[in-house]
Amino acid sequence: MELAPFYAAILSFCIGVILEVWLHAQLPNISGKSPLAGAIRYGLTRMKRLRPYLDHGILELDNNTAERAMRSIAIGRKNYLFVGSQSGGKAAAIAYTLIETAKLNGKRCFAPTFRLAL
């Protein structure tokens, strides 16, 4: 059993609790109309949305993985103009889907093998 995710979950939860307590403690000491007080109130109102990340620890705070996976599709978007036909566009969409799914699952795509699959 891998303990790193477990420790990461505990650490993120502890840091979140400490941060929330500290923000609540600082708010009465700051002028209510100051930009810092506004920033603290903003953070405290968003703690509810941060709680799932803090409670589980395995959730990611950003969507960089999904954006990286979509980058090649976005780059290929101009290539869709030159697929030639509707069936060519469908074949290109299937190819991109298979390639990106394989990449996400840690598989390497080889061009000769892939051509045989189509």
CA 9 to chain centre: 17
Number of domains into which the chain is organized: 2
pTM of structure: 0.49
Using 50 as the pLDDT threshold, list the residues of the chain that sit under it. 116
The residue range of the domain holding 112 is 64-117
What local confidence, expressed as pLDDT, does residue 82 receive?
65
What local confidence, expressed as pLDDT, does residue 106 receive?
80
What local confidence, expressed as pLDDT, does residue 91 receive?
80
What local confidence, expressed as pLDDT, does residue 27 receive?
92
What local confidence, expressed as pLDDT, does residue 49 receive?
85
CA–CA separation, 51 vs 5, rounded Å? 17
Looking at the structure, do residues 82 and 101 belong to the same domain, yes or no? yes
Looking at the structure, do residues 52 and 89 belong to the same domain, yes or no? no
